Amino acid sequence: MNFQYSYLELPEIFYREWQPEESYKREPLIFNEDLARELGILGGLPQATRPFAQAYAGFQFGHFNMLGDGRAVMLGELIVPNLRRFDVQLKGAGRTPFARGADGNAALGPMLREYIVGEFMAAAGVPTTRALAITTTGKEVLRERPLIGAVLTRVATSHIRVGTFDFARAYASFDELKALADYTIWRHFCELLEESDGKYLQLLRRVAKSQAELIAGWMGLGFVHGVMNTDNMAISGETLDYGPCAFLDGYNPAAVFSFIDKQGRYSYKNQPAIAAWNLSRLAEALLPLIAPEREIAIELVTKEIDLFPEYYMNNWLKVMRRKMGLKGEREDDHDLAQELLDAMAEYSLDFTETFRSFEFPELREWRRKWIRRLNSAGQNAEQATELLRRNNPAIIPRNHKVEQALTAAETGDLQPVHDLVNALRRPYIESAQYSKPKVVEKYVTFCGT
């Protein structure tokens, strides 16, 4: 098995060939054997013959910036046994031409967080990038304090982002933009290759639908990404970048955990709206490909973006029906779900625990409505409760447990990380050690850059 480099067939504006920095004292720390087995690479990765850094831009908290892989280098693409194609990237591999004055390094804690949360997402069935390996670099990374340097080996179906199209809109020619769009279709939506007309509008639609499904999955787990900039929105529909992410404890729809998100732009409740905003930036980038006349192109993409709330709501209702143990569909299922969430917010009920039973005094009135809904579909509470246990995780990456594991790792003790990941890979199995909630007042996270 050798690396392939289809991305390098794109115009050179989209990348720079670049060698990762060699660390003088790199030591293996984590190796994800489960993922390696899925990829068919238990014997190790092939030699990277043409590593490169990707160029992209992004709207960060609504403001456009030129970005790019400032500390990441793509080793290449693997074709795995089921013939799927995956990127393999080193994150924290030193400065690149896109470093913009930064040091190009990564610290151990954020890399371990990406490994922990990514493994949970994969086990919970939410599309995600995953960590294949983590190595320490033997050098300190200076942030608020000196930290242990580390490199993450990340696997994704691709690293093409909405921000890649932001970059093309700002800096690329029409032909370069078209090359990127055609490559993206080939990479992720090959069924559109036979389309002679309207394939770029179809591309926008496919990305919108995949994002609607992804965000609904996040919302169903109480996941707060924390930094939904367009450079962190993967065209593939996978969760990309676990920087200042966290999970809800007591349900609060306005929850924000990122230290830098002072205005709550990326709060839990805002995630669907931000996804739509990001898709609008993708639509803007695609305008020249949609139609020769700009006004017609704007009209066409506007209609597509306007459909996103419907795509999202359909996916969210699927998630909520499953979380409530409901069979079939009823018109008032949305109201039933919203009433449950309103009650959870009023009493700050734990998001994860609540969906495992509904046996809370505060939910007595709502539970009567729930039982009537069950009866209308020929279900009873016992049957539905069994579905709850199967459809709702007992274990999530509780914020305090993640912090405990990361703190231990920084002292050289990796066992809490291993134990936590092993539990998260079986998230529907009760665990006295990991299932119990603990509300951490004013919990904040940092992006790690």
Structure tokens at 85: 């194609």
Of all residues in the chain, what percent carry a pLDDT higher than 90? 88
pLDDT given at position 235: 98
pLDDT at 24 over 70: no
In which domain, by residue range, is 103 found?
Answer: 6-160
Does residue 104 sit within a domain?
Answer: yes
C-alpha triplet 409, 221, 130: angle, nearest 5°: 50
Does residue 253 sit within a domain?
Answer: no
At 34-61, the pLDDT tens digits run 999 999 998 889 999 999 999 999 999 9
Backbone angles phi, psi at 316, to 5 degrees: -65, -40
At 142-176, the pLDDT tens digits run 888 899 999 999 999 999 999 999 999 999 999 99
Q: What SS3 state is found at 142?
A: strand
Does residue 330 sit within a domain?
Answer: no
Q: What SS3 state is found at 354?
A: helix
E strand or H helix that includes residue 290: helix 271-290
Active site residues: 231
Burial class (CB in 10 A: 0-12, 13-18, 19+), 190: exposed
For residue 128, what are the β-bridge partners? 239
Does residue 196 sit within a domain?
Answer: no
Does residue 118 sit within a domain?
Answer: yes
Contact between 104 and 53 under an 8 Å Cβ cutoff? The reply is: no
At 356-415, the pLDDT tens digits run 999 999 999 999 999 999 999 999 999 999 999 999 999 999 999 999 999 999 999 999
> Considering the chain, what is the average pLDDT of its residues?
95
At 226-245, the pLDDT tens digits run 999 999 999 999 999 999 99
pLDDT given at position 25: 74
Structure tokens at 243: 């920087």
Task: Fill in the DSSP letter of residue 392.
Answer: S
pLDDT at 449 over 70: no
pLDDT given at position 393: 97
Place of tokens 């016992």: 382
CA distance 135 to 49: 21
Structural domain tally of the chain?
1
Backbone angles phi, psi at 344, to 5 degrees: -60, -40
Does residue 138 sit within a domain?
Answer: yes
pLDDT given at position 441: 64
Burial class (CB in 10 A: 0-12, 13-18, 19+), 15: buried
Does residue 94 sit within a domain?
Answer: yes
CA distance 166 to 266: 20
CA distance 103 to 99: 7
Alpha-carbon distance values, 203 to 164, 187, 275 (Å): 14, 12, 16
Does residue 388 sit within a domain?
Answer: no
Alpha-carbon distance values, 85 to 69, 76, 156, 361 (Å): 20, 10, 9, 50
pLDDT at 448 over 90: no
